[in-house]
C-alpha cells in the first residue's frame, strides 16, 4: 500500500520543518525550514555537539565589545551551520530565519538578511538555495520588498490572515508561510468551542489564502506551516508546499489511508461563484441558477421595514434545513440538496 506521505507528495511539495538533520533523510523532503526554537532544540542534542563546539570556538578568534554581541554572533552562525548541513540533504530550499527581535526594523532586517546570504555564499552555498525567513509584520514586509528587488528570495512567515498574505504577495514575496496550529491554539484558549478537522480555523485560514492567491494569479508560493496534527495536513493536500515536523512526517509514513486532493487552482476556479461580477447574495444566487440550469426565478424582496428580522439571513437555520455538512464538497452538497428538494415536491 502507498503511505499517506507518498500520496501527499503527489498533491503538494513536502518540506521538513526541523533543525534535526539526521531525522529527515528517510522522508526525502524537497526543502527544509528552520526557526530559532527548532535550532535551539537541535543544539541541545549530543549528536550536534561537534558542530556547536566548532562555532563557539571560531567565535573566540573574533573581538566583541560585549558578551551579548558574541552570543548573537554564535546564534547566527549556528543557524547557518545547520542550514549548510540541511542543504546537503534536501535538493531544494533551506529557510533561515532572521532574529525576531528585528521584526519591527526594516533596515536591520535587510542588513541581517544580507549577512546571512553572505555567510552562506562564503561557505559555497549559492543564494538560490536559501530563503530568508522574515516575520510578516509591516516592517518585515517592507524588508521583503527590498530584498526581493535585490534578488534575495524570502519566506514571509507568521502569516495569520488573508490581509497579511496579500500584503506579502504584493511586496513580491517568493513564498509565504501561513500558520495553522498557532491559529488553532489561539481559538482553543480564547473560545469555549470544540474544534476538530471539520472546523479547524487554522486550516480555514490557509484555504482562504490559497484560493485567493490562485484566483488572482499571484505567483507567491503558499506553504502551510505550524501543524498540530495529521488531519490538518491531510485537509490541506494540494497546497503548494506543506512544512511538516519529523514526528508528523513519521505518522504520515506509517499510515496508508486514502488522501484526497483538497486544494487546487482548478477546483477553486470552477466552484467560485462569488467573485467576478457577482458581488451580492442575489448575484450569487443568480449564478447558481445559471450554472445548474434551474428554471427558478430569483427575486429579491429586500428588507421589510415593518418586520426587519424577516429579511435577515439565518445561516445556522439554513444549514440545518439543508442538512449542511462542513466536510462535504460543494458538488456532493448540491447533490444532496437536490435530493432533499425532490423529497419535498
Query: Active-site residue numbers?
Result: 133
| Start-end of H helices in the chain | 4-11, 36-43, 49-59, 67-89, 106-122, 138-149, 162-170, 181-190, 201-215, 230-234, 246-254, 265-270, 281-291, 315-321, 330-344
For 182-185, the CB contacts below 8 A with 24+ separation are 182/158, 182/226, 184/228, 184/232, 185/228
CB of 185 to ligand E4P, least distance (A): 8
311 three-class SS: helix
Confirm if 237 and 261 have CB atoms less than 8 A apart: yes
Q: Determine whether 163 is exposed, middle or buried from the number of CB atoms within 10 Å of its CB (0-12, 13-18, 19+).
A: exposed
Cα(236)–Cα(231) distance, integer angstroms: 9
Closer CB to ligand E4P, 236 or 268, in the complex: 236
Q: Which residues bind ligand E4P (CB under 6 A)?
A: 17, 33, 35, 157, 177, 179, 181-182, 225-226, 243
C-alpha grid cell, residue 134? 522574515
DSSP three-state, residue 135: strand
Amino acid at each position: 500500500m502507498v503511505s499517506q506521505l507518498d500520496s501527499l507528495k503527489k498533491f503538494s511539495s513536502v518540506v521538513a520543518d526541523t533543525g534535526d538533520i539526521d531525522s529527515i533523510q528517510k522522508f526525502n523532503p524537497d526543502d527544509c525550514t528552520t526557526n530559532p526554537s527548532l535550532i535551539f532544540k537541535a543544539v541541545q542534542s549530543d549528536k550536534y555537539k561537534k558542530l556547536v563546539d566548532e562555532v563557539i570556538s571560531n567565535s573566540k578568534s573574533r573581538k566583541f565589545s560585549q558578551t551579548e554581541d558574541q552570543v548573537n554572533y554564535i546564534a547566527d552562525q549556528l543557524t547557518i551551520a545547520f542550514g549548510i548541513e540541511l542543504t546537503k540533504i534536501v535538493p531544494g530550499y533551506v529557510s533561515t530565519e532572521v532574529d525576531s527581535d528585528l521584526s519591527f526594523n526594516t533596515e536591520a532586517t535587510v542588513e541581517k538578511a544580507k549577512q546571512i546570504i553572505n555567510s552562506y555564499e562564503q561557505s559555497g552555498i549559492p543564494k538560490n538555495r536559501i530563503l530568508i525567513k522574515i516575520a510578516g509584520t509591516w516592517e518585515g514586509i517592507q524588508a521583503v520588498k527590498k530584498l526581493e528587488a535585490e534578488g534575495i528570495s524570502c519566506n514571509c512567515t507568521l502569516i495569520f490572515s488573508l490581509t497579511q498574505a496579500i500584503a506579502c504577495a504584493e511586496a513580491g514575496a517568493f513564498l509565504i508561510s501561513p500558520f495553522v496550529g498557532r491559529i488553532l491554539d489561539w481559538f482553543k484558549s480564547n473560545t469555549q468551542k470544540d474544534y476538530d478537522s471539520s472546523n479547524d480555523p487554522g486550516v480555514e485560514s490557509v484555504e482562504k489564502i490559497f484560493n485567493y492567491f490562485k484566483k488572482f494569479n499571484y505567483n507567491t508560493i503558499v506553504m502551510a506551516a505550524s501543524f498540530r496534527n495529521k488531519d490538518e495536513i491531510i485537509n490541506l493536500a494540494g497546497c503548494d508546499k506543506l512544512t511538516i515536523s519529523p514526528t508528523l512526517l513519521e505518522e504520515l509514513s506509517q499510515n496508508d489511508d486514502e488522501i484526497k486532493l483538497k486544494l487546487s487552482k482548478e477546483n477553486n476556479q470552477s466552484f467560485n461563484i462569488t467573485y467576478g461580477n457577482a458581488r451580492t447574495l442575489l448575484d450569487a444566487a443568480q449564478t447558481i441558477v445559471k450554472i445548474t440550469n434551474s428554471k427558478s426565478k430569483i427575486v429579491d424582496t429586500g428588507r421589510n421595514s415593518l418586520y426587519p428580522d424577516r429579511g435577515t439571513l439565518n445561516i445556522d437555520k439554513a444549514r440545518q434545513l439543508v442538512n449542511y455538512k462542513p466536510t462535504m464538497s460543494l458538488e456532493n452538497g448540491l447533490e444532496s440538496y437536490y435530493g432533499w428538494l425532490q423529497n419535498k415536491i
